[in-house]
Amino acid sequence: MTASTIRVSDPGGFELRRVLAEDGSALLPGDHAPLPPRGELAELYRAMLTTRLLDDRMLKLQRQGRVAFVGTATGLEASVHGSAAAFRPEDWVFSALREGGAAVQRGMPLEQYAAHMFGNAEDTAKGRQMTNHFQHPEGNFVSWSSVIGTQLPQAVGAAMAFQRRGEPQVVCAYSGDGATSSNGFHSALNFAAVYKAPVVFVVIDNGWAISVPSSKQTASRCYGDKARAYGMPGCDVDGNDVLACYRATQEGADRARAGGGPSLVALRSYRIGGHSSSDDPTKYRDPDEVEHWEQRDPLDRFAAYLRAEGLLDDALQAEWTAAITARIAAVVQRAEKVGPPPLETLVEDVYADPPKHLRRQVIEALRVIAEKGEADAVEGKFPL
């Protein structure tokens, strides 16, 4: 236990690290160390609020048939933003489905967020990626492949590259509880520990992997326990307590930066929404469980703390909500007007100069379009 973190007992019998009680009061009154600095606390809340509002808006757009697919972080904002705040701009982040908010926190403009969700000509992925799979090159935020766990060996590879070059960056490797059962998780943790790679594995346990509950995902007591088998430190944290998420991840990042190797931080939270916009969670989970977690909203908890600290009040909260909502509306309106990426971009980025056969295919496709017009949109169903 660090001086600034209390351990509380989880109903599962293991201990969770916590800084804030469920009502938002500090468990150790007067505890301001370690960081984030006081001046950054309200900004952290603003980042969480932005993610909440973005997810709400994107899900509505998906229901209206205007964006293709959404996977929300609703209920997970403390886990996402508390952990992301522990890394520096020069560090690298390998995300899974629900950490797009961390890209925004690392400087991705909302215009880019919306461009990606619409897969338009301004999308940095040029419309080739599934939606909700964000990348932000300037923020060293790497796109995800959707294949569960594959980002983890890549994250370790990047960390080992920094280590070999003697560069100071460390890597944040996000995954879900379900991903801990993947081959990638095993290879990544094993390699990282053997080679002392400067990486922090942040497992966001949101209770579910689509319809598989965490109780069926593993026979381990908790996800933090898994670290021991690989020879690295691990801990379990109240994932709805943004300050606890920050502190535990910060310790991992400090350790990696000092040459101490990898660690695992398991953030225990709850996926309030469905797995994705293609899922109906009422088919497999008890509404009482959802209500239990709704009453433990991470934004409410942190807001209560900030209010007590004199850093937030009703007026500021209302002002931010209105300003962020208006900004999201503006970027969505704009993104919808930008057309799709030009067809010829399809063959860019793999070769320095697209080879002849690919160029020929583009010319042929353009000829067909010129002759017959664009194909009509058809009703499509995404299988997940």
Ligand X SMILES: Cc1ncc(C[n+]2csc(CCOP(=O)(O)OP(=O)(O)O)c2C)c(N)n1
What residue ranges in 78-123 does DSSP mark as E strands?
92-94
CB of 271 to Mg ion, least distance (A): 6
Among the listed residues 36, 119, 149, 176, the single contact to Mg ion using CB under 5 A: 176
Complex with ligand X: residue 75 or 262, whichever CB lies closer: 75
- The catalytic position among 18, 57, 116, 275 is 275
Is 79 near Mg ion (CB under 5 A)? no
Residue with tokens 């983890």: 152
Q: Which residues contact 106 (CB under 8 A, 6 or more apart)?
A: 84, 89, 93, 136, 139, 140, 141
Q: Please give the backbone phi and psi of residue 167, each rounded to the nearest 5 degrees, phi first.
A: -90, 155
Contact between 197 and 262 under an 8 Å Cβ cutoff? The reply is yes
Task: Find the binding residues for Mg ion in span 340-359 (CB under 5 A).
Answer: none
Q: How far is CA 73 from the centre of its chain?
A: 7
Is 177 near ligand X (CB under 6 A)? yes
In total, the chain counts a number of residues equal to 384
- The catalytic position among 46, 52, 271, 301 is 271
Q: Quote the CA–CA distance of 204 and 267 in Å, as a whole number.
A: 5
By a kind-dependent CB cut-off of 5 to 8 A, residue 148 interacts, out of Mg ion, ligand X, none, with ligand X
Rg (CA), the chain: 21
The count of chain residues that interact with ligand X, using the rule CB under 6 A, is 18
> Any catalytic annotation for residue 45?
no
Complex with ligand X: residue 95 or 105, whichever CB lies closer: 95
- Using alpha carbons, select from 157, 210, 156, 158 the residue that is nearest to residue 179: 210
- Which listed range, 177-185, 189-197, 291-299, 340-348, lies at the site for Mg ion (CB under 5 A)? 177-185
Sign of CA dihedral 30, 34, 36, 39: positive
> Any catalytic annotation for residue 165?
no
- The catalytic position among 63, 284, 360, 367 is 284
Contact between 250 and 34 under an 8 Å Cβ cutoff? The reply is yes
Among the listed residues 235, 271, 274, 341, the single contact to ligand X using CB under 6 A: 271
Is 275 near ligand X (CB under 6 A)? yes
In the shown chain, the binding pattern of residues 228 to 267 toward ligand X, with x for contact by CB under 6 A and - for none, equals ----------------------------------------
Q: How far is CA 32 from the centre of its chain?
A: 26
Is 101 near ligand X (CB under 6 A)? no
Is 206 near Mg ion (CB under 5 A)? yes
Is 209 near ligand X (CB under 6 A)? yes
Is 185 near ligand X (CB under 6 A)? no
How many angstroms separate the first and last alpha carbons of the chain?
A: 41
Q: Which residues contact 6 (CB under 8 A, 6 or more apart)?
A: 17, 18, 19, 27, 28
Q: What element of type H or E holds 234?
A: strand 234-238
Complex with Mg ion: residue 73 or 93, whichever CB lies closer: 73
Is 146 near ligand X (CB under 6 A)? yes
- Which listed range, 103-111, 113-121, 143-151, 156-164, lies at the site for ligand X (CB under 6 A)? 143-151
> Any catalytic annotation for residue 275?
yes
Is 149 near Mg ion (CB under 5 A)? no
Token duo for residue 30: 């007067």
Chain residues binding Mg ion by CB under 5 A are: 176-177, 206, 209
Chain residues binding ligand X by CB under 6 A are: 96-98, 146-148, 175-179, 206, 208-210, 271, 275, 384
Residues assigned a catalytic role: 271, 275, 284
